[in-house]
Amino acid sequence: MGASRRLGWRVKGAIAVGILGVIGLIGALVALAGARAIDHRVQALLSDTNTRPNNWTDWSAWNGQRATLLHVTDTRTLVVDDVWYGEAPGTEDLERIGSFASMDSIEVQDEDAAGDGKYIAPSRLLAFTPWDFQLHGGLAIVATDRVFECYYDPDNHNNDMGYRGRENGLYAVGSLADVKARALHIREVHRVFDEVKARRRLDLLDAFLRSHIGPARYDAIDTLKASPDLALRLFRAFLSDDEHLDGRPQAVLGLRVLPVSGVAHELALALEHELVFWEKVAPTLPALWRTTQGNLGQSVRRHYSVTCLILDGMSEHNDDSCREPVRRFLAVKKGMPPDGDDSRTLDRACERAQRLVLDKR
C-alpha cells in the first residue's frame, strides 16, 4: 500500500515537472515569436515607400502627441474638424494656436508654391501638439487642401533671414492627403520605436539610424548612449556607409560623447573615410565651392559639415591615432580654393586640429 502511494506521488511529480517544462517551452516560443515579429515590423515600416520623407511633417508628427485639423469662424473661434490621432487639443494648446488664427493673413515665402508675395488667411489650420511650434514647427495653414508650414522665429522681428536661413512666413509642405498619410506613418514608426526601447532590443536601433526619418535618427543616437560599446560598433559601420550622408553629423556628435575608450580611433577612421572624398574632389573644386549648386554643391556641403565635426572631436580627444589622418587632411585642405563660408567653420576646425598635430611632435 505504501509503495503504491509513493509510486503515485512520483508519477504525479513527473507529470507536474513535465507540465512546467511545456509551459516554459511555450513561453520561450512566444518570446521568440515576439522577437521575430518586432524585427519584421521594424524592417517593414522603415522600408515602406508609400509616403515620402518630409522634414516638417516628420518632426511635427514624431514630437506631436496629437494631430488636429481646425477651422476659424468669423468670430475668430477655433473649431475642431478632425483628429488624426491622439486627443483633441486642450485649452493651452488652443490659446497658442489662436495666436496665429488672430492674424489677418501670412505671407507665402516659397516662390515655387504660390508665387512670392501671396498672402493666405489662417482660416483652416493643422496643428501637431503639444510642441513648441512657434520656433520648431508643428503648425500649418491649409488652403485648397494644400498644407503650408508656419515658420516663425520670435527673435526675427525685422523678418530678416532666420536661424534656418529662412524668413518668417509660410512654406509649402504638400497636399493635405499626403501630409496625413505621412503623419500617420511616422506615428506608427514612433510606436514601434518605443516598443524596441521597452524590449531593450538596442540592436534594432541600427535600422532607425539608417532610416530617412530625421527625428528617428536623433532618438536612436540618444538611446544608444545607454549602450556605448554597441553604439561604437554601429557608428563605425554607419560612418563608413556613403548611402546615409544625411545622418552622419548626428552620428559623429553621438560618437564624440560616448564614455568608452576607442572614440578617438573611430574618429580617425571616419576622417580617413572622408579623405577618400576630399582627395577625389579637391583638384576640381571651384572658388567659393561651398556655395556651388547642383549635385556637387550638395555633396560637398554634406561632407563639409561632417568633416568639421570630426576634426573638432579629434581636438577634444587629443589622441595619437588622430595625428596621421589630420596631417593628410590638412595637406589636402591647403590645396583647396576658398570655400566661401563667411563663418570660417572648416578653417577654424583645421586650426584647432593643427595645434593637436603640432603638440604631438
Measured on CA atoms in the order 189, 193, 195, 199, is the torsion positive or negative? Answer: positive
Using one digit for the tens of pLDDT, what is the confidence trace for 41-50? Answer: 999 999 999 9
Between CA 217 and CA 194 the distance in angstroms is: 13
Cell of 269: 577612421
Q: Position of cell 500500500?
A: 1
What is the CA 196 to chain-centroid distance, rounded?
Answer: 17
Amino acid identity, position 321: S
Cell of 141: 495653414
Q: What is the mean pLDDT of the chain?
A: 85
Using one digit for the tens of pLDDT, what is the confidence trace for 57-109? Answer: 999 999 999 999 999 998 888 999 999 999 988 888 888 888 777 777 888 88
Amino acid identity, position 15: I
Between CA 220 and CA 207 the distance in angstroms is: 9
Half-sphere CA count of 120, side-chain side, radius 13 A: 27
346, pLDDT greater than 80: yes
Q: Position of cell 505504501?
A: 2
Cell of 145: 487642401
Using one digit for the tens of pLDDT, what is the confidence trace for 101-147? Answer: 777 788 888 766 555 558 888 899 999 988 765 445 689 999 989 99
Output the pLDDT for position 167. Answer: 81
